[in-house]
Amino acid sequence: MPWMFRGLRNGVLTTGYPARPDPYGEAWRGAVRLRGSGVPAPGAARLGCPTGALSEAPDGLRLDRGRCILCGRCVEAAPEALEWQAGAEVAALRRDDLLAPSPGPEDEDLEAVRADLATRVSALGRSVHLRHVDAGSDGSEEWELAALWNPVYDAHRLGIYLTASPRHADVLVVTGAGARGMVAPLLATYEAMPRPRVVMALGTDAISGGLVAPSYALTGGIGAIVPVDVWVPGSPPSPLSILHGLLLALGRLPDRRGGRS
């Protein structure tokens, strides 16, 4: 049996993330960001953002990472105002946390969100089961989610499993821009899950509809269909970004950098 011996050579491939930083993830261009606060708007129109992720306000440029598809056009057009942000850890627990500048301080609110989520996930055992639903993706998000169980990311080592049955699912992972034909099946899956449950919007399409919305056939994000607990931007997000989002929602990120916000 050739496969037995082939298998043995796989052991050393697995990332040390989240216990240790992952070099591929650290170098990943996971987001764009404003260079400082109160960045004077260079004329949002001139930046040519394809998804309307950039807008102008009296106090300067606004960036919505939940709409950004990481095309890099704005960074090229106005390097004085925008830059790439390295790192795969881009997920957020509140939709507003994807906005820059942040619409308000509201740290108490984030604490409340965290506390609520912590109560819910504390009921989960060491093993967590995911149910995935495609609500109108382009197919790339599925590849990046499925990659979590390849030997490089090996989500099993973290007790993260896929389940076919919504009745055994703790986390609902939703991809796609919210195809109207998927609204009822998505709701049915959500309703069939036991409580407590956690919902992830995987990818910019799932967060805001991305570039494929607006469309007669789309809700423009899955937040219009089910309540979302964790938002993972990217078009598609890298597997490490998805893993980060899961661990963030589950409260399982180690505090290796003296506390991340």
Partner 1 sequence: MSTDPSGQVLPLSRGSWAEVLARHGQGHRFAGLLAAAVPGGTRLTVVLALADRLQGYDRLVPDELARVDSLTAHLPAAAWYERAMTDLHGLRVDGQPSPRPLVLPLPGQVSPPRPGGPAPSPALEPDEHVIGLHVDGPGMFTIPHGPVRSGVTESVEYLLETPGEDISHLHVRVFAKHRGIQSRFSGLGLPDATLLAERVEGVASVAHATAFAQAVESALGVQAPVCAGLSRVLHAELERIANHVDVALRLSEAAGLSVAVSRLGWHKERVLRLVSQLCGNRFGRGVVIPGGVSRLPGLAGEQVVAALTGIADALLADADALMRTPSFLDRLRGTGPLDHGLAARHGALGPIGRGSGFDDDDRRLRPYAGYAQLCPEPVLGQAGDAQARLAVRLGEVRESVRLARAAALALEEHRGEPTSVKLPAEDGRGLGWAEAPHGEVLYDVELRAGTVLRAAPRSASLHNLPLFATTFQGDIFTDFPFVEASFGLPIAGVVL
| Among 43-51, 101-109, 162-170, 238-246, the segment contacting ligand SF4 (CB under 6 A) | 43-51
List the one residue from 64, 89, 144, 229 that touches partner 1 (CB under 8 A).
Answer: 144
51 touches ligand SF4 (CB under 6 A): yes
| Among 62-70, 114-122, 135-143, 169-177, the segment contacting ligand SF4 (CB under 6 A) | 62-70
85 touches partner 1 (CB under 8 A): no
200 touches ligand SF4 (CB under 6 A): no
Say which residue the tokens 């394809």 belong to. Answer: 50
d(CA 249, CA 35): 28
| Among 64-72, 90-98, 117-125, 221-229, the segment contacting partner 1 (CB under 8 A) | 64-72
39 touches ligand SF4 (CB under 6 A): no
CA neighbor of 174 nearest in space, from 147, 142, 148, 150: 142
Contact 235, 139 (CB under 8 A): no
214 touches partner 1 (CB under 8 A): yes
List the one residue from 12, 107, 195, 216 that touches partner 1 (CB under 8 A).
Answer: 216
Binding mask 164-203 for partner 1 (x = CB under 8 A): x-----------xx-xxxx--xx-xx--------------
Binding mask 66-105 for ligand SF4 (x = CB under 6 A): --xxxxxxx-------------------------------
List the one residue from 140, 159, 196, 252 that touches partner 1 (CB under 8 A).
Answer: 140
Q: Where are the alpha helices (DSSP H) in 89-213?
A: 107-122, 140-146, 183-192, 204-208
Q: Exposed, middle or buried, 75 (CB in 10 Å: 0-12/13-18/19+)? A: middle
Structure tokens at 61: 């440029």
Give 36-84 as a DSSP string: SSSPPP--HHHHT-TTS-EEEETTEEEEETTT-----HHHHH-TTTEEE
CA atoms within a 13 Å half-sphere pointing along the CA-CB vector of 122: 6
> If binding means CB under 8 A, how many residues of this protein chain bind partner 1?
61
29 touches ligand SF4 (CB under 6 A): no
Structure tokens at 60: 């300067």
- Judged by the rule CB under 6 A, the positions of this chain that interact with ligand SF4 are 32, 47, 49-51, 53-54, 68-74
